[in-house]
């Protein structure tokens, strides 16, 4: 047997190409394509009186200008509501090009096609649009007040309304010996991948291979779903599915925004390519990405909680107001996720959650990494801290009193999750998670550290936040595995990659299944020509769904290979095993056949092309004249296809702890340590998982301390550039100390859970708690900037912000965590070391980023 690849921190196979500058991202393709540019609304609310393109006509290189008037059939209908849900009261989705009204700044009004992008933008700048400007609705307050509505023909701005309840939560809160009420607020941010969106399409004239006397469309898109774009474009352009191929090239980050489909541009570009018979490409620029893609996060929350004297929740009653922007193309996934994932690792007693999803005159809101969970965790974890403060208990102790125990798994929360299936946690060890985070950050030792810091005139604080994340939802993903006569193994899955290293981890899985070298396995993602059945990359589902699917597909291939090998070796299939690229009689390498030879035998040939195929031709070897060349019930080729359709989500979990220092004068906030305990089930590639965690934490820190969408009351986004939207550099992001737990999921053949989003989820909650702890007053609104902290201090001094009591110093961590845990400046404990052990190629990571 070769070394097991599953669990090994192998280097990514994607990297050699990417570091050489040989990546192929959307804008790297289509050198000969003409360019599209869009005229976008400068107003958040307006009626279009007239569009005049006369001035654009003289622009050299102009090919065409299109407006809504040019569209017909399904193209003239609104874009689809992708995920319908009974809670949606009035679903509004945009048109491919605005029809009469615009509802946010940045909405596409006209499309220009020209020989190159410079000419297209010149022409776009000369198109005069006459707007009758209306008044915008910006922010949750204005949306609730409904003095005016975002959309014509609506009485208010409520897009959706949903109540979920388990038990009588309001009565439970009222009857509880203790109760609290919290008002919380989270602002807008956005995934903001470094590569924006982009679409490139070409129309191929009809031939016998296109299957109709219409042609065939090839679309390249920087998307998180190839099959979704294919189906959506086919529906809009009234093409058969078989006439549309979607290929997803290298994608420069997605973080959720690229799961939305079809974007207006994603149908307009193929439409124009077909209409013009020319290749057309559109590459989004940075400002467009800010005003015409998608944002997330903005929510207002009211929490009422009732609890006993040990801090155990008896009832939890939550009201959410969710800003969904101008349209609702992705349905209500985000507020549903908040409503359900808010519960985290805890038992709430009776639970009631009600949300209203509200239209505002701003960019649409769709899932951004974490997808509603950061807000839910913020609500729950702020509540946990408030309970602890109310009772004078340690914050981890209160959490320990509320977590679900391992012997209660699987645990049914009694709600319906975002995939329409029951919210039943599959596995997890939450008490151990609390112990581990206490050890890793040295929770018990912090009081002493704080005292020392105080004596030096420094303010420091510690915060913790836990989460449970439903990952790997269905309906399914597929895998196709094929062994070629060269012995190379080709794997395909339909979902797409945006940097998660699917090419590496899926190869690891297949290499193990077939016992072949990793370097012999090649993986294709996101190409409808290779795998037509797929859903897409979102909700941390790649490893769970596609990982399981390729494992199952490889197993099918193995069954077939065993049948062929048994014939060739004249042995019983049950006596055979896979070993180092061969099939051999168990324990007897001399009686073996190469997998490549099995591939040759699997596909009887008439023609010889090389020595391998010559061995499979009609006159080679001994034929059995009583059987057809391909046995009955078999198909030619050594390949297998299978699908993984999970019963429910797998539930990953973790806890983050942050230590911050706040400057007594300037109110600057600096992260001294950031610790993560992370359980995503069995680890396929710890290096990649840690990369996902580090990147997620960076986005979490960004959302907690730096990033926001600064809309003015007219609906203008004031910081629509990377100069003004403070995406952190290396100077702002702490190094992250990670400790892994591996609680396998019983719901898939690999025992894995998703890992892509986890890092971002509890960051705002943990940092709010740490800042609160440093400052001694309640923090109930994120993000928080130094000027906001300064303002909070002022208001606190004036009595406007409640104090938090001095926190008790815990004698030990919950359930007796190690007493010898390190001080914040000492190296992390053994449990925190990456499981691959020290990597000699990497310098040691310090446990704290000490102030410079």
Partner 1 sequence: MTEEQHDIRLRVNGIPHTARVPARRLLSDCLRHDLGLTGTHVGCEHGVCGACTVLVDGRPVRSCLMLAVSAAQHDDITTVEGLAAPDGTPHPAQQAFGECHALQCGFCTPGFLTLVAAYVRDNPAPDEEDAREAVTGNLCRCTGYQNIVNAVLRTAEITREQDGGAGVPHARPSAEHDGAAGDATAAAPRTEGGRP
Per-residue binding letters, 475-514, with partner 1 (x by CB under 8 A): -----------------------xxxx-------------
* List of residues 6+ apart from 360 with CB closer than 8 A: 137, 138, 139, 140, 142, 143, 150, 157, 323, 324, 325, 326
| Residue 400 interacts with, from ligand FES, partner 1, none (CB under 5-8 Å by kind) | none
Using the 8-state DSSP alphabet, how is residue 148 labeled? S
> What residues from 566 to 595 belong to the interface with ligand FES (CB under 6 A)?
none
| Residue 327 interacts with, from partner 1, ligand FES, none (CB under 5-8 Å by kind) | none
Q: In this complex, which beta carbon is closest to partner 1, that of residue 23 or of residue 42?
A: 23
Q: In what order do the strands lie in the sheet with 158-166?
A: 158-166, 350-359, 313-325, 299-307, 178-186, 781-782
Residues 283 and 27: beta-carbon distance below 8 Å: yes
Total residues binding ligand FES (CB under 6 A): 3
How many CB atoms sit inside 10 A of residue 407's CB? 5
Q: How far apart are CA 296 and CA 274, in angstroms?
A: 34
The CB-of-795 to partner 1 minimum distance in angstroms stands at 17
> What residues from 733 to 762 belong to the interface with partner 1 (CB under 8 A)?
733, 735-736, 759
**SS3 call for 408:** helix
Which of 787, 803, 815, 826 is in the footprint of partner 1 by CB under 8 A?
787
* CA distances for 455 relative to 458, 654, 808, angstroms: 7, 33, 18
Q: Report if residue 27 touches partner 1, rule: CB under 8 A.
A: yes
Which of 107, 187, 195, 317 is in the footprint of partner 1 by CB under 8 A?
195
Q: Report if residue 691 touches partner 1, rule: CB under 8 A.
A: yes
CA dihedral 120, 121, 123, 128 (to 10 degrees): 140
Beta bridge partners of 38: 111
- Phi, psi at residue 199, to the nearest 5°? -140, 140
Nearest to 248 by CA among 216, 272, 225, 231: 225
Q: In this complex, which beta carbon is closest to partner 1, that of residue 721 or of residue 815?
A: 721
Using the 8-state DSSP alphabet, how is residue 95 labeled? -
Q: In this complex, which beta carbon is closest to partner 1, that of residue 87 or of residue 508?
A: 508
| Residue 798 interacts with, from ligand FES, partner 1, none (CB under 5-8 Å by kind) | none
> What residues from 488 to 507 belong to the interface with ligand FES (CB under 6 A)?
499
Q: In this complex, which beta carbon is closest to partner 1, that of residue 229 or of residue 784?
A: 784
Q: Report if residue 623 touches ligand FES, rule: CB under 6 A.
A: no
Which of 4, 22, 49, 405 is in the footprint of partner 1 by CB under 8 A?
22
Beta bridge partners of 650: 471
Q: How far apart are CA 826 and CA 830, in angstroms?
A: 12
Q: Report if residue 724 touches ligand FES, rule: CB under 6 A.
A: no
Helix (H) and strand (E) counts for the chain? 19, 29
Calculate the CA 596 to chain-centre distance: 38
Which of 786, 827, 831, 835 is in the footprint of partner 1 by CB under 8 A?
786
Q: How far apart are CA 482 and CA 639, in angstroms?
A: 4
* Beta strands 280-283 and 198-204, pairing class: antiparallel
Q: How far apart are CA 839 and CA 715, in angstroms?
A: 50
Which of 392, 420, 724, 802 is in the footprint of partner 1 by CB under 8 A?
724
Q: In this complex, which beta carbon is closest to ligand FES, that of residue 195 or of residue 426?
A: 195
Q: In this complex, which beta carbon is closest to partner 1, that of residue 297 or of residue 644?
A: 297
| Residue 18 interacts with, from ligand FES, partner 1, none (CB under 5-8 Å by kind) | partner 1
Q: Report if residue 728 touches ligand FES, rule: CB under 6 A.
A: no
Total residues binding partner 1 (CB under 8 A): 76
> What residues from 240 to 279 belong to the interface with partner 1 (CB under 8 A)?
250-253, 255
Q: In this complex, which beta carbon is closest to partner 1, that of residue 59 or of residue 229?
A: 59
Q: In this complex, which beta carbon is closest to ligand FES, that of residue 499 or of residue 686?
A: 499
Per-residue tokens: 660 = 């911050």
Nearest to 594 by CA among 610, 612, 608, 606: 612
Beta bridge partners of 25: 250
* CA distances for 666 relative to 451, 457, 701, 774, angstroms: 21, 14, 19, 14
Which of 135, 156, 594, 732 is in the footprint of partner 1 by CB under 8 A?
732
The CB-of-527 to ligand FES minimum distance in angstroms stands at 21
Please identify the residue of the shown chain whose CB is closest to the bound ligand FES.
Answer: 194
For residues 600-633, one letter each, b for 16 or more C-beta atoms within 10 angstroms of the residue's C-beta and e for the rest, the string is bbbbbbeeeeeebbeebeeeeeeeeeeeeeeeee
Span of 209-217, 231-239, 582-590, 691-699 interacting with partner 1 by CB under 8 A: 691-699
Which of 61, 253, 776, 786 is in the footprint of ligand FES by CB under 6 A?
253
Q: Report if residue 144 touches partner 1, rule: CB under 8 A.
A: no
Q: Report if residue 194 touches ligand FES, rule: CB under 6 A.
A: yes
Q: In this complex, which beta carbon is closest to partner 1, that of residue 117 or of residue 322?
A: 117
Cα three-residue angle 508-510-513, rounded to 5 degrees: 110
Q: Report if residue 190 touches partner 1, rule: CB under 8 A.
A: no
How many residues are given for the chain?
Answer: 852
Q: In this complex, which beta carbon is closest to partner 1, that of residue 54 or of residue 730?
A: 730
The CB-of-279 to partner 1 minimum distance in angstroms stands at 14
| Residue 27 interacts with, from ligand FES, partner 1, none (CB under 5-8 Å by kind) | partner 1
- Backbone Cα Rg of the chain: 29
> What residues from 538 to 557 belong to the interface with partner 1 (CB under 8 A)?
none
Q: Report if residue 331 touches ligand FES, rule: CB under 6 A.
A: no
| Residue 285 interacts with, from ligand FES, partner 1, none (CB under 5-8 Å by kind) | partner 1
The CB-of-797 to partner 1 minimum distance in angstroms stands at 20
| Residue 611 interacts with, from ligand FES, partner 1, none (CB under 5-8 Å by kind) | none
Span of 67-75, 133-141, 728-736, 800-808 interacting with partner 1 by CB under 8 A: 728-736
Cα three-residue angle 202-203-204, rounded to 5 degrees: 120
| Residue ranges in contact with ligand FES by CB under 6 A | 194, 253, 499
């Amino acid at each position: 047997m070769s070394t097991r690849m599953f669990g090994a921190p192998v280097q990514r196979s994607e990297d050699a190409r990417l570091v050489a500058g040989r990546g192929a991202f959307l804008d790297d393709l289509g050198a000969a394509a003409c360019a599209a540019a869009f005229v976008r609304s400068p107003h958040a609310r307006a009626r279009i009186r007239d569009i005049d393109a006369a001035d654009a006509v003289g622009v050299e290189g102009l090919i065409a200008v299109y407006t809504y008037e040019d569209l017909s059939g399904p193209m003239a209908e609104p874009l689809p509501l992708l995920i319908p849900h009974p809670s949606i009261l009035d679903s509004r989705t945009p048109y491919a090009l605005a029809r009469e009204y615009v509802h946010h700044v940045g909405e596409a009004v006209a499309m220009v096609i020209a020989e190159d992008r410079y000419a297209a933008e010149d022409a776009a700048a000369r198109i005069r649009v006459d707007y009758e400007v209306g008044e915008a609705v910006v922010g949750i307050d204005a949306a609730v007040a409904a003095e005016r509505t975002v959309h014509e023909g609506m009485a208010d701005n409520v897009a959706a309304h949903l109540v979920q309840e388990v038990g009588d939560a309001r009565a439970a809160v009222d009857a509880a010996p203790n109760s609290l009420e919290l008002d919380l607020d989270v602002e807008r941010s956005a995934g903001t991948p470094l590569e924006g969106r982009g679409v490139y399409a070409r129309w191929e004239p009809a031939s016998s291979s296109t299957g109709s006397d219409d042609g065939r469309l090839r679309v390249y898109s920087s998307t998180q779903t190839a099959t979704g774009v294919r189906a959506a474009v086919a529906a809009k352009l009234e093409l058969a599915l078989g006439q549309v191929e979607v290929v997803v090239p290298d994608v420069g980050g997605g973080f959720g925004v690229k799961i939305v489909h079809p974007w207006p541009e994603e149908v307009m570009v193929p439409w124009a390519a077909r209409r013009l018979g020319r290749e057309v490409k559109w590459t989004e620029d940075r400002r467009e990405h800010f005003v015409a893609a998608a944002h997330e996060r903005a929510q207002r929350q009211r929490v009422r909680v009732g609890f006993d004297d040990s801090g155990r929740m008896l009832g939890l009653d939550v009201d959410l107001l969710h800003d969904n922007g101008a349209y609702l193309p992705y349905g209500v996934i985000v507020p549903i996720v908040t409503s359900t994932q808010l519960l985290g690792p805890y038992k709430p007693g009776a639970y009631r959650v009600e949300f209203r999803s509200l239209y505002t005159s701003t960019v649409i809101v769709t899932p951004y990494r974490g997808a509603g969970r950061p807000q839910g965790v913020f609500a729950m974890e702020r509540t946990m801290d408030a309970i602890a403060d109310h009772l004078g208990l340690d914050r981890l102790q209160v959490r320990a009193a509320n977590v679900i125990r391992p012997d209660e798994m699987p645990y049914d929360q009694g709600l319906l999750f975002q995939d329409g299936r029951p919210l039943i946690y599959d596995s997890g060890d939450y008490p151990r998670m609390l112990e581990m985070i206490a050890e890793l950050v040295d929770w018990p030792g912090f009081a002493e550290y704080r005292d020392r810091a105080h004596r030096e005139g420094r303010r420091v604080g510690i915060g913790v936040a836990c989460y449970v994340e439903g990952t790997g939802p269905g309906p399914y993903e597929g895998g196709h595995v094929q062994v070629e006569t060269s012995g190379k193994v080709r794997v395909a899955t339909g979902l797409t990659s945006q940097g998660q290293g699917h090419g590496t981890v899926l190869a690891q899985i297949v290499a193990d299944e077939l016992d072949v070298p990793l370097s012999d396995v090649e993986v294709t993602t996101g190409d409808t020509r290779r795998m037509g059945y797929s859903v897409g990359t979102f909700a941390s589902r790649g490893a769970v769904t596609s990982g399981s699917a390729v494992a199952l597909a490889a197993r099918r291939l193995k069954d077939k290979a065993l049948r062929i090998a048994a014939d060739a070796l004249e042995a019983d299939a049950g006596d055979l095993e896979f070993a180092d690229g061969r099939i051999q009689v168990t324990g007897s390498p001399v009686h073996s056949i190469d997998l490549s030879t099995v591939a040759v035998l699997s596909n009887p040939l008439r023609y010889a092309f090389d020595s391998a195929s010559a061995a499979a031709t009609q006159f080679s070897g001994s034929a059995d004249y009583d059987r057809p060349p391909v046995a009955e019930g078999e198909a030619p080729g050594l390949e297998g296809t299978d699908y993984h359709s999970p019963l429910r989500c797998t539930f990953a979990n973790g806890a983050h702890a942050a230590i911050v220092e706040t400057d007594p004068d300037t109110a600057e906030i600096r992260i001294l340590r950031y610790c993560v305990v992370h359980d995503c089930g069995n680890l396929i590639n710890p290096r990649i998982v840690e990369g996902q965690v580090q990147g997620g934490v960076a986005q979490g820190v960004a959302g907690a301390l730096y990033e926001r969408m600064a809309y003015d009351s007219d609906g203008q986004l004031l910081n629509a550039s990377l100069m003004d939207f403070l995406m952190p550099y290396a100077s702002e992001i702490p190094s992250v100390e990670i400790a892994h737990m591996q609680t396998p999921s019983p719901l898939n053949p690999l025992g894995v859970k998703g890992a892509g989003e986890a890092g971002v989820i509890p960051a705002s909650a943990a940092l709010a708690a740490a800042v609160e702890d440093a400052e001694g007053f309640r923090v109930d609104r994120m993000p928080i900037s130094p000027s906001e902290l300064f303002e909070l201090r002022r208001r606190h001094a004036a009595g406007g912000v409640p104090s938090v009591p001095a926190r008790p110093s815990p004698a030990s961590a919950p359930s007796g965590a190690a007493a010898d845990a390190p001080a914040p400046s000492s190296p992390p404990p053994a449990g925190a070391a990456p499981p691959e052990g020290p990597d000699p190629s990497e310098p040691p990571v310090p446990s704290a980023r000490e102030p410079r």
